[in-house]
């Protein structure tokens, strides 16, 4: 049975790693990255709800007085 020639494996693996690295670098360099955003000024609006103006009580049927 013939021996497996492994003398070219190092060159093959190194060239494959270099090719993948170059391909990823080219792929990443095509992306458009936005500049770092500054702080946004967010205006808080106070919405008034009817239940915030007056006090309300929920009457349950069991809490009503008996007639």
User: Per-residue pLDDT tens for 6-26?
Assistant: 888 999 999 999 999 999 999
Is the per-residue pLDDT at 59 higher than 60? no
* Predicted local confidence at residue 6, as pLDDT: 82
* Predicted local confidence at residue 4, as pLDDT: 82
For the full predicted model, state whether its pTM sits above 0.85.
no
d(CA 4, CA 61): 89
User: Per-residue pLDDT tens for 42-56?
Assistant: 777 676 666 555 555
Domain range annotation of the chain: 6-59
């Amino acid at each position: 049975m013939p021996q497996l020639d492994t003398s070219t494996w190092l060159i093959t693996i190194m060239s494959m790693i270099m090719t993948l690295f170059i391909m990823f670098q080219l792929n990443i360099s095509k992306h458009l990255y936005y500049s770092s955003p500054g702080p946004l000024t967010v205006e808080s609006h106070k919405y008034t709800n009817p239940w915030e103006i007056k006090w309300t009580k929920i009457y349950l049927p069991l809490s009503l007085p008996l007639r």
